[in-house]
Every structure is written in C-alpha cells, then in structure tokens.
Amino acid sequence: SNGTRCEMRRGAIALHNAAGGTVDGVTYENIYVEDPREFGFHMAILESEYSIGMDPVTKQQLYWSKPGHVRNVKVKNLHILKTPPYGYYISGYDEDHKFNIEFDGLYIGGKKVKSLEAFKRLPNVTIRHAEVIIK
C-alpha cells in the first residue's frame, strides 16, 4: 500500500467477494500487522464489473448482478500493532448479502478488544450489512 486512501480497498488483511458465488469457511490465524498503511483490515462484498450471477428465472448467467455471500469467516489472534490511518472496514452488500465474520482474539495496539461495542468505539470503524462477533 502507498499510504493514501484510494478506491483499491487495500487493507493489511483483506477479503473481497465481487462475484456471484459464496466464500465460505475462511480462517486467518496468528497474524501480526506491524505497520498498516491504509486499512487495518478491509472485508467486503462488492458489486463490480466482474460480478456474475444466474438469473433465477431463465437460469442464464448474467453479468453485473448482485454479488454473492461471505459466510463463516474466522479471524483468530489478529494483532494490529499500529493504528491504521483509515481504520477498519467490514461491509456486506445489502441485507440479503451480509458479511459474516467472527474474531477470536483481536488485539489492537497491544490491547485485546473484548466486545463489538468496544470495537465500534475505535477510530474509523465501518460496519454495515455485516454480522460481526468478537470474543
């Protein structure tokens, strides 16, 4: 990353789904981020020119349809040592396409984040259309 906010959605760790499929069962474990230059993490379901899907009526593939889903993402023991300039971003596409993620051991600046409420109080946290669990 180059340290400037841009549309590339660059996070020290990231997971993006911009297609019509489902991302399921991804685990990140024992990660240390020393110097995030943009987002600490950027997790999102995106609509893009690469989004594809199937028309439920005609069963034909369509481009530029709503994207898919992200389910059962687990992040265990993530340590972010410095405050990222653009914060933390977790976003689904809409209420039918939510981003589902669980943190078990989220440490920011050497301190454990113990709840979703505590996480939301950090600077530059964006959570929308997402089911987020913090243990």
Tokens standing for residue 22: 């489902």
Three-state secondary structure string covering 72-122? EEEEEEEEECCCCCCCEEEECCECCECEEEEEEEEEECCEEECCHHHHHCC
Helix (H) or strand (E) holding 54: strand 52-54
**Residue 129 DSSP label:** S
For residue 68, the SS3 value is coil
Q: Which of 122, 19, 121, 31 lies closest to 74 in space, CA to CA?
A: 31
pLDDT in tens, the chain (135 residues): 565 666 667 889 999 988 778 999 999 999 999 999 899 999 999 876 666 666 667 777 665 566 789 999 999 999 999 999 999 999 999 999 999 999 999 999 999 999 999 999 999 999 999 999 999
d(CA 21, CA 54) in angstroms, rounded, equals: 10
pLDDT of residue 59: 76
